[in-house]
Amino acid sequence: MKAKKNWDWLLLLFSVGLIISGCSTKEKKEESDLASEPYTRTEFLMGTVVNVKIYDEGKQEVLTSVFDRIEELSEKITVNDGASEVEKINEQAGIGPMEVSDDVYSLLQAAYGYSKDSDGTFDMTIGPLTSLWHIGFDDAKKPAQPEIESSLASIDYKKVMLDDEQQTIFLRDKNMRLDLGAIAKGYITDEAVKVLKANEVDTAIVDLGGNIYVLGNSPRAKGAEWNVGIQNPFEVRGEIVGSIPLSDKTIVTSGIYERFIEVDGKKYHHLLDPKTGYPFENSLAGVSIIAEKSIDGDGLSTEVFSKGLEGGLDFINQSKDIEAVFITKDKSIYLSEGLEGLFRLNDDEFTLENEQ
């Protein structure tokens, strides 16, 4: 039976669904410490719906602190408004170094690390290429080959100069452009969780447009982990193929059917290869990364997707504290080793392939 859209699962707008039921029991939180209904706030920020729910009794005011932090970071990082630090860095490309805030410098260091570790399949300077395709916007197009080749010439994270002592960044090529969209939401999600923990919140959900973090255990299951739904990459947000139990973890999903354009009957998704200038091509339709930090889920989702099914599975199985669910274009599901026995399939259009 195909999974139906169940609005009770959709605690988080435009996110993977959350099924409110119990799994493995952990230390229980006293019922008197929990609000009868979660304190909830939803805003449209960074071009996406941001939703935070706090279940701790008396912690409603923490929502203000969380959103203040999210908005502060959004103003520093978001492009397309002409005022963010990241846009000013791009304006200084080829001109000279720019000193940045602690927040932006931390994000830049992380982006450089992912770029280096992935050997450039994740590249923080992919901005010329993403701007050229502009998938997800009204003016999205399939560029001409000369345009693609021109943009590729300006993509090279090795030409990013970071000065830890002066806390500056310099893009050596005047045509270089940062695009940190692939990890920015993960960084901001982690910072929002820090605010929750600093205010002694034990039970909450943070959703930044698909970057999900579940803090603590499900209050509706009396101390059990949250059951987190895995997004069906072929359907709209909220349609799930199965679920896994999680607590104090993040899940980030990348899929080829979420944002794409269609030209002459061929679909081009938004996960672009900075080496070829075109979308990555392999058997994968979607990858969900489970990690302790959302920025890792973001950074690794691109790298893992670029490796394809076999390479991606091998990479995750050799990584510490990282798990993943792979869904292929033929609707087969593959789990990393740490998830075997935990995933529950609820859509018979899909096949679970590698569980023992």
Q: What is d(CA 109, CA 116) in angstroms, rounded to the nearest whole number? A: 11
Question: If we measure between CA atoms, which residue out of 343, 264, 337, 275 comes closest to residue 306?
Answer: 275
Question: If we measure between CA atoms, which residue out of 224, 265, 266 comes closest to residue 246?
Answer: 224
| % of residues, the chain, pLDDT over 70 | 88
Instruction: Produce one character per residue of 251-274: b if its CB has 16 or more CB atoms within 10 Å, e if not.
Output: bbbbbbebebbeeeeeebbbbbbb
Assigned token pair, 52? 């935070």
Q: What is d(CA 273, CA 280) in angstroms, rounded to the nearest whole number? A: 5
pLDDT tens readout for residues 169-201 = 999 999 999 999 889 999 999 999 999 999 999
**pLDDT value at residue 354:** 81
**pLDDT value at residue 257:** 75
Q: What is d(CA 180, CA 107) in angstroms, rounded to the nearest whole number? A: 8
| % of residues, the chain, pLDDT over 90 | 73
| pTM (2 d.p.) | 0.89
- Mode of pairing for the β-strands spanning 211-215 and 18-19: unpaired
Domains of the chain, earliest start first: 18-73+189-345 (3.10.520.10), 79-181 (1.10.3980.10)
Task: Report the sign of the C-alpha dihedral through residues 23, 202, 185, 169, in that order.
Answer: negative
Q: What is d(CA 227, CA 21) in angstroms, rounded to the nearest whole number? A: 6
pLDDT tens readout for residues 314-327 = 999 999 999 999 99
pLDDT at 254 over 80: yes
**pLDDT value at residue 347:** 92
Neighbours of 168 (CB within 10 A): 18
Work out the pLDDT band at 3, boundaries 50, 70, 90.
very low
Q: What is d(CA 343, CA 354) in angstroms, rounded to the nearest whole number? A: 11
Q: What is d(CA 284, CA 269) in angstroms, rounded to the nearest whole number? A: 12
pLDDT tens readout for residues 110-161 = 999 999 999 999 999 999 999 999 988 889 999 999 999 999 999 999 999 9
pLDDT tens readout for residues 196-218 = 999 999 999 999 987 999 999 98
pLDDT at 299 over 70: yes
